[in-house]
Structure 1
Amino acid sequence: QEMAEIIAEELNVRLPGIKVPLGIANAMAWVLELGGRLTHFEPLLTRSRVKFFTENRAFSSQKAREELGFVPRIGLREGVRRTIRWYREKAYL
């Protein structure tokens, strides 16, 4: 949630006000995929995208800090800013 909020702030957009249950999101994606196959159109929402955006991708750097003395050079917000800038430079946004 924190990551989504930071990305939304940096992009100057609002997060959606409603949360769709995972089962409903997957059902909607399945219907859109079926429609996409029939119309030869790539749907924006697919089951693989639902899975990608709902999996927990939180990782800790604690072990690297303790065993290797790792210290991040930039924080989360600055990393998001740089990533957004790169996406814009590559015309992905």
Structure 2
Amino acid sequence: MREQNLPRTQAITQIIQEADTAVQRFLHHDRQIPALCSSLDLTASERTAVHAYTDVMRTMIRGNCDWHRTAGRYSPQARPLITPTAQSRGGAL
């Protein structure tokens, strides 16, 4: 969130809110899948493929959430990977 000049804790809060919104949108649309499949008159095989795809998406979202929670990268105590001095020289750390 450097482009918005937000302090780290505020940027983390904003990112969490954006992620929560995206997940809520996915869940909203996911609940509509059965009705969509019916309106498209999909076969049982096609419905199985659609549900398999959304199951994979759900698993990916869950895995991403779990990783972020345990990795510590986005915790308020985490240190930046690039220091301001190294960044001005074009280097890392």
Taking structure 2 as the reference length, what is the TM-score of the superposition? 0.29
More helix by share: 2
Between structure 1 and structure 2, the one with the greater Rg is 2
